[in-house]
Chain A
Amino acid sequence: MANELAGDAAQAGGGAVTLADPEFLVPLRRQMIKFATLQLKDPDLAEDAVQEALAGALKNQRSFGGRSALKTWVFAILKNKIADALRQRSRIVTASSLGDAEDDDETFAALFDARGHWHLSEQPAGWREPEASLRETQFWRVFEACLEGLPERQARVFMMREFVGLDADEICKALALSRTNLNVLLHRARLRLRACLENHWFVEDLR
């Protein structure tokens, strides 16, 4: 594998960032494995998806001006591989692998009163120019920390839906979830992620 990569590096040449640079590839691969494992819950499938994604990326090697552009592209390929893997092995995963531990109403109770109105301090504020945040490294640190702070299966279905881009039926099938379960998980994930971003990022803008 390393030799293949080195060979491609020689061909690609130049000063642009390439996948063959081990200083780039090693951490990238680790991040890909971590993400694929979170989504697929199976180390072998995750390894396969990452391997295929990297092979695909090398085959269509393009040169990118920067690490982040290259990385975005490689992750876009990985997303497709994960989506394929999830669609294919829908019957393998059982609902139990997701656990049922988080079915309490903690999320809702923290945000809403008994009549279903926002607690005063939890009412969503206006965010000023949120899109500008997407260009800030620090924002992505907060975003990632907020994602990782979600209960595991909320994070997983949220990312399947919004990052990997599966539709609701595909997710239900892949995880053997009822539609109602999926709706509840996504609702909670969105509420929590939104609140986390507001509390740890956007509130700063409001002062």
Chain B
Amino acid sequence: MPSCRESTRLMSEARERALTRGERVGLRLHLLMCAGCRNFGKHLDFLRGAAQAYVPGAAADDEAANPDSTSVTPESDAPTGR
């Protein structure tokens, strides 16, 4: 039976390829007994949905000063919060 590390690898790879029958059986067995890895599987689904909904930089829109872009001269009339 696969370890947790191995199971997370299989769950990750399952997003790019079909697992073999042996892999599926081993993974299923492991998941029956491991709540942490079951959670991991759910979180992977969430990660994909979040990545698709993500808009780069959107979170920084509220801030006039963008901390990681030091080259930016802040417009003096930019609102500090919206």
Contact = CB atoms under 8 A, between A and B. Distances in A.
A134 B50 contact: yes
B57 interface: yes
Contacts, number: 125
Contact of A159 (B5, B51, B59): B51
Interface string B53-70: 111111111100010110
Main secondary structure on B side of the interface with A = helix
A117 B3 contact: yes
The secondary-structure label for the interface of chain A is helix
A82 to B, nearest CB: 11
Q: How large is the interface on B (under 10, 10 to 19, 20 to 34, 35 or more residues)?
A: 35 or more
Interface string A97-133: 0000000000010011001111000011111001100
B57 A31 contact: yes
B20 interface: no
Contacts of B62: 137
B56 A124 contact: no
Contacts of A111: 5
Interface stretch (A7-15, A41-49, A68-76): A68-76
A167 interface: yes
Interface of A: 23, 27-28, 30-32, 34-35, 67-68, 71-72, 75, 108, 111-112, 115-118, 123-127, 130-131, 134, 137-138, 140-141, 143-144, 148, 158-159, 161-163, 165, 167-168, 182-183, 186-187, 190-191, 193-194, 197-198
Interface of B: 3-6, 8-9, 12-13, 15-17, 35-37, 39-40, 42-44, 46-62, 66, 68-69, 72, 75, 78
